[in-house]
Amino acid sequence: MLKSGGLFVTVIDLYLENLPSHQWIETLKVPVHLLGIPDYRTMFEQAGFVDVRDERLYDPAPVPENYSGGSFKTRNDLLQYKANGSLMLSGEVRK
C-alpha cells in the first residue's frame, strides 16, 4: 500500500526486449508472462499510477574473457544482456 504521492519502483531483468534473458524461462520452472516495456507501462497506468517512467540500469562490471556459463549459456549472451540493461519502472500514486 502506498500513500497519496508515494512512489513505486521495480526492476525487471526478464522482459521482452532483453532477448538473452529469455533463456531463463526454461530453467525457472514457473509460469512466465513475457511482457514488453509498453505492456508494463500500460499495467502501471491501468493500476492508477501517474508519471510512469521506464529507464535502463546498466552493470559496468567487466565480463571475464573466460566466462563459462552460469546465468547465461555464453559470454556473448551475458554481454548482450548487459548492453540491454535491467528495466526499471516507476510510478507515483495520484495525490
Where are the domains positioned within the chain?
A: 7-93
Set of cell numbers at residue 69: 556459463
Mean pLDDT, range 62-85, rounded to an integer:
93
Contacts of 54 (CB under 8 A, 6+ apart): 37, 40, 41, 87, 88, 89
β-pair type (49-57, 7-12) = unpaired
Neighbouring C-beta atoms of residue 95, cutoff 10 Å: 8
For cell 499510477, the residue is 49
Amino acid type, 66? N
Amino acid type, 94? R
Contacts of 51 (CB under 8 A, 6+ apart): 90, 91, 92
Indicate the pTM of the whole model. 0.89
Question: How would residue 68 be classed by pLDDT, with cut points 50, 70 and 90?
Answer: confident
69 has a pLDDT exceeding 80 = no
